[in-house]
Amino acid sequence: MNFGNGQYQAIKKIYAEKIAPATIIEMIEASGLRGRGGAGFPTGKKWRLLAQAPGTEKFVVCNGDEGDPGAFMDRAIMEQFPHTILEAMRIAGYAVGAQKGVIYVRAEYPEAVANLQTAIDQAHRDGNLGQDFDVVIRLGAGAYVCGEETALLNSVMGERGEPHPRPPYPTESGLYGKPTMINNVETLANIPNIILNGPENFKNTKIFAVSGAVQKSGLVEVPLGTTIAELVYQYCGGAKPGHTIKAVQIGGPSGGCIPASLFDTPLDYDSIKAVGAILGSGGLIVLDETTCMVDFAKFFVKFSADESCGKCTPCRVGTKKLEAVLEKITKGKGTTEDLIQIQTLGQQIMDTSLCGLGQSSPTPVLSALKYFGDEFAAHLRGECPAGVCFHGYYITDKCVGCDLCAQKCPVGAIEGAPKTKHHIDPLVCVKCGLCAKTCPVHAITGGNDENND
Ligand SMILES: Cc1cc2nc3c(=O)[nH]c(=O)nc-3n(C[C@H](O)[C@H](O)[C@H](O)COP(=O)(O)O)c2cc1C
């Protein structure tokens, strides 16, 4: 991350070289920059729409809500490069004809809020803000949906943070009914560099917040088009010792999982969409064999159900229903019909929800079902390959059929032919755990009492 900070060189260049607003927009278009907030909308095109919108009162809004679990790149930018965001907003204001800016920042980021406020005060003192363009901070209302642009605008205006259908888009009718341009923090942070160094030198990098089952987690900035394999193995050190990476989850609650067999997929908006996920804002969680894909999908569906604002029925009721089906499966009570229902209900929620929260909420479970259908099928048989669900023990494919566990089992719950995979009868098992302790190849997992009914 090298966004510069506090120099306001790009805006000085604009005034010194008398670069026209239309030229600025052409530069942003030529750079190929696309919105880093999730949807990947071409930034220059959005700026052009606002510049062409009628009226003299317009707003520029910076979206710093960052509610995706697993995403923390905007936080780093707001904390470390607050002046860059202010400079970018001022450039945007100059290019589109807006005089007022609002930064909507997640209230749970107190350091980002403090640093942004200090930067605004310094910019006023130094004459970098407050004349032709000014910026104020509004604190996020603590709901994931408030990151959605129409809900965000309602929240800024002191209304309930609920979305409304688009059109009208904010570029037509946004804050107080005026044309409004909303850009993500990282999108904006790229603007001064594009102006200073020219669009032809823009490397189109993206910051990923990598976490989970990987040796080196943290923020990694790579050019768009870098493959998942390069990011996970080359830059993040690959799996933790003794483990095997099986997938990544990209895009948070709106995104999906991508199996290791597709790790040669380039990290760009269209390629990731083609394999059933979204690049999203850049949260990337690495998963190894200790993660149960059904349980993991349930986490995200539950997140969306909890965060649904409740305004539209498909999202309010549908996500809860989807969560209940997944809960049933992770309790070992799922049926084949449940898997069909996940698909039909998921599709209905996607097709009929009002905003992006509902529309994308089934993606985590649909992609998990697509690529890890065998794990769902195992749950229908009462087995959790990762040993996360159910309260009993489960013998994995590592079993060499040595029979030691069966010999130790005090209640005779384990059976299997020599040298073939053994099986534990969950109805007989008393969950003493002796089998797992005995197994010489660590093939027995489970015993997680937290999952008890
Ligand atoms: C449920 C939901 C949550 C969102 N949260 C954020 C967020 O935290 N930050 C963000 O920049 N965009 C978020 N977005 C996307 C915004 O609606 C909007 O597309 C984005 O701020 C536009 O900026 P960009 O063009 O620079 O990407 C969210 C969208 C949805 C549907």
Domain boundary among 201, 224, 259: 201
Place of tokens 């943290």: 218
pLDDT tens-digit map of 54-73: 999 999 999 999 999 889 99
Distances (CA, A) of 248 to 144, 232, 233, 278: 22, 9, 12, 12
Q: Where is average pLDDT lowest: 141-150, 347-356, 383-392, 417-426?
A: 383-392
Show the domain range for 219. Answer: 205-288
Q: Are residues 54 and 195 in the same domain?
A: yes
CA of 315 to the centre of ligand 1 (A): 18
How far apart are the C-alpha atoms of 80 and 221, rounded to whole Å? 15
Residue finishing a domain among 252, 273, 288: 288
Number of domains the chain contains: 4
Question: Is 388 domain-assigned?
Answer: no
Confidence band for 50, pLDDT divided at 50, 70 and 90: very high
Smallest CA-to-CA distance from 263 within 223, 219, 293, 233 is with 233
Question: Is 386 within a domain?
Answer: no
Residues 93 and 195 in one domain: yes
Task: Please count the other Cβ atoms lying within 10 Å of the Cβ belonging to residue 198.
Answer: 12
The pLDDT of residue 409: 95
Among 65, 105, 156, 184, say which to mutate for ligand 1: greatest number of ligand atoms within 8 Å of CB.
184
Q: Establish if 166 belongs to a structural domain.
A: yes
Mean pLDDT for 322-335 is: 94
Residue 65 CB less than 6 A away from ligand 1: yes
Q: Does residue 44 line the site of ligand 1, with CB under 6 A?
A: no
State the CATH number of the domain containing residue 371. Answer: 1.20.1440.230
pLDDT at 1 > cutoff 80: no
Residues 110 and 41 in one domain: yes
**Quick check: bond before 168 cis, omega within 30?**
yes
Closest residue (by CA) to atom 2 of ligand 1? 148
**pLDDT score for 295:** 96
The helix or strand, by DSSP H or E, that contains position 339, with its residue range, turns out to be helix 336-352
The verdict on 75 and 107 lying in the same domain is: yes
Ligand 1 centroid from CA 38, angstroms: 6
Instruction: Say how far apart CA 449 and CA 244 lie, in whole Å.
Output: 25
Is the full-model pTM beyond 0.85?
yes
pLDDT of residue 85: 98
Cα(24) to centroid of ligand 1, in Å? 23
> In the prediction, which pLDDT does 369 show?
98
Residue 371 has a pLDDT of 98
**Which of 72, 77, 102, 148 for mutating ligand 1's site (highest number of atoms within 8 Å of CB)?**
148
Q: Verify whether ligand 1 is closer than 6 Å to residue 314 (CB atom).
A: no
Average pLDDT over residues 311-330: 97
What number is the average pLDDT over the span 208-223? Answer: 97
Nearest atom (ligand 1) to Cα of 71: 8
**Of 96, 131, 366, which Cα lies nearest the Cα of 249?**
366
- Give the model confidence (pLDDT) of 154-186 as tens digits: 999 999 999 999 999 999 999 999 999 999 999
* Residue 385 lies inside a defined structural domain of this protein: no
Distance of CA 235 from the midpoint of ligand 1 (Å)? 27
Q: Are residues 301 and 414 in the same domain?
A: no
Would you place residue 449 in the very low, low, confident or very high pLDDT band (cuts 50, 70, 90)?
Answer: very low
Please give the number of the atom of ligand 1 that sits closest to the Cα of 145.
1
What does the pLDDT average to over 84-98?
Answer: 98
35 lines ligand 1 (CB under 6 A): yes
Indicate if 232 and 188 belong to the same structural domain.
no
Task: Note whether 28 and 95 are same-domain residues.
Answer: yes
Query: Which residue has tokens 């071409």?
Result: 42
Check if 66 has its Cβ closer than 6 Å to any atom of ligand 1: yes
Average pLDDT, the chain: 94
Range 8-13 average pLDDT: 96
Examine residue 238 and state whether it is found in any structural domain, yes or no.
Answer: yes
Q: Is the CB of 375 under 6 A from ligand 1?
A: no
CATH of the domain at 210: 3.10.20.600
User: For ligand 1, what atom is nearest to the CA of residue 46?
Assistant: 25
pLDDT in tens, 422-432: 998 877 888 88
DSSP state of 425: -
Which residue's alpha carbon is at the smallest distance from atom 12 of ligand 1?
A: 37
pLDDT of 448: 55
Q: Is the pLDDT of residue 453 over 50?
A: no
- Ligand 1 atom index nearest CA of 356: 31
| 206-242 CB burial, b ≥16 within 10 A, e <16 | bbbbbbbbbeebeebbbebebbbbbbbbebbebbeee
Å from CA of 345 to ligand 1 middle = 25
Whose C-alpha lies nearest to ligand 1, atom 23? 183
> Which residue, judged by its Cα, is nearest atom 25 of ligand 1?
35
Task: Establish if 1 belongs to a structural domain.
Answer: no
Query: Ligand 1 centroid to 63 CA: how many Å?
Result: 7
Q: Give me the pLDDT at residue 396, please.
A: 86
Q: Locate the ligand 1 atom nearest the alpha carbon of residue 149 and give its number.
A: 17
Q: Are residues 171 and 24 in the same domain?
A: yes
139, 169, 201 — which closes off a domain? 201
pLDDT at 381 over 90: no
Query: Is 142 among the domain residues?
Result: yes
pLDDT tops 80 at residue 305: yes
Residues 419 and 367 in one domain: no
Residue 92: inside a domain = yes
- Is 329 in the same domain as 441? no
* Alpha-carbon span 275 to 255, nearest angstrom: 11
Query: For 371-376, what is the mean pLDDT?
Result: 98
Ligand 1 centroid, distance to 185 Cα (angstroms): 10
Domain of residue 444, CATH code: 3.30.70.20
Domain containing residue 46: CATH number: 3.40.50.11540
Mutate to test the pocket of ligand 1, among 63, 152, 186, 354 (most ligand atoms within 8 A of CB): 63
Q: Is the CB of 150 under 6 A from ligand 1?
A: no
pLDDT (tens digit per residue) in 250-265: 999 999 999 999 999 9
Question: Does 154 share its domain with 102?
Answer: yes
One-letter amino acid for residue 39 of the chain: A
336 and 249 together in one domain: no
